[in-house]
Amino acid sequence: MRLCVLDLDGSVAAQPPLLARVAAGMACHADLRDLAPRLRLAASRSAIRAFLERLEQVMDSGPGPEVIFYGSGDFHHLTAAFLLRRKMPVTVIHLDNHPDWVTFPATFNCGAWVNRALENANVAKVITIGPCSDDLAWPQLKGANLAAIAARRLEVYPWRHPPSRLVPALPRPKGLPAVGHRLHWHTVGGAAWTGFVADLSRRIPTRDVWITIDKDVFAPDEVVTNWDQGEMRLAHAMALVREVAERHAIIGVDVCGDYSPPRLGDPWRRVLAFLDRSCRPLVTQPHEALNADANAQLLRLFDDVLA
């Protein structure tokens, strides 16, 4: 595998498991903190182009899957940028406590990046797994891309969530799998997980798979993030990666969700933070060792299944 550590916010660059790989020449490292103010929470298309230009300068273009660690989930929309570099059809497996599916504004931002990915002709489908958040409640009012669900290009499998109520007076796309005025979810938490993972392959229409992991999908005793967190365990995600690797070619993985103090230098990003997340301006519990340990476990997994 080709491992790269992107330093956007200081959260991963100092972690011993990743530092050791960089020092041993087993990973590339890029200091991109100068770009971070233009990328955090939302990015213009010019900022994305600048990011991709810098990425091409540091990423090894050799064979094997890419594995990218890049800090806070505030940068999760960079997944859509990583996918712009893919030239073959790919299915995206998206582990997250949030669906990241809003249709407005139509920019690269952490609440809407799934739609930027779906605009990519090489992305056959996005499969979102693990949300518990309130983002799934009243989806029409929150700008959810229900048309992509109706078209079967987006599938969402919450860890747990009651049926989402639909507004009768608002239009809904033809083919949306709703019963009356409710959208019923196939939840995958608890005892349902093993069967869901075993059956996942039939939902993946391509040979190639890209996996994106926002660690806010995990319970707070395993990681600490900038966002409200879900209930999945690391062991669940690792079992899923192993199963996918058995049946498909994992061409890339990106991992975000490490906590960093949110430095929001302009009013627009402050408004986004206020509207779109349970913001944590200060974390008092120790988080560096917890997050580094989670990344070390993921690294060992990737060494095993992506070698």
List, for residues 208-266, the tens digit of each pLDDT value. 999 999 999 999 999 999 899 999 999 999 999 999 999 999 999 999 999 998 777 67
Please tell me the predicted confidence (pLDDT) of residue 60.
Answer: 76
Local confidence band at 271 (pLDDT 50, 70, 90 cut-offs): low
pTM of the model: 0.94
pLDDT digits (tens, 9 = 90+) for 91-102: 999 999 999 999
Mean pLDDT calculated for residue range 194-217: 98
pLDDT band for position 269 (cuts 50, 70, 90): low
pLDDT at 272: 65
CA-nearest of 91, 188, 76 to 132 is: 188
Q: How far apart are CA 188 and CA 212, in angstroms?
A: 18
**So what's the pLDDT on residue 281?**
47
Read off the pLDDT band of 286 (50, 70, 90). confident
Mean pLDDT across the chain? 93
Q: Quickly tell me which residue has 């989402």 as its tokens.
A: 164
What total of structural domains would you count in the chain? 1
- Encode pLDDT of 132-167 as tens digits: 999 999 999 999 999 999 999 999 999 999 999 999
The answer to whether residue 19 scores a pLDDT higher than 90 is yes
Q: Which residues does 169 contact at the CB level (< 8 Å), separation at least 6?
A: none
Tell me the residue range of the domain where 32 lies. 2-305
CATH number at residue 263: 3.40.800.10
Angle (nearest 5°) at CA 40 between 57 and 104 = 115
Angle of helix 234-247 versus helix 288-305 axis, rounded to 10: 20
Question: Residue 191 and residue 18: Cα distance in Å, rounded?
Answer: 34
CA distance 46 to 33: 17
pLDDT score at 275: 61
pLDDT of the residue at 277:
55
Element (H, E) at 196: helix 192-199
DSSP state of 218: B
Q: What is the pLDDT of residues 39-50, one digit of tens each?
A: 999 999 999 999
In this prediction, residue 124 has a pLDDT band, given cuts at 50, 70 and 90, of very high
pLDDT, residue 214, reads 98
Percentage of the chain exceeding pLDDT 90: 85
Cβ burial, residue 37 (10 Å; 0-12/13-18/19+): middle
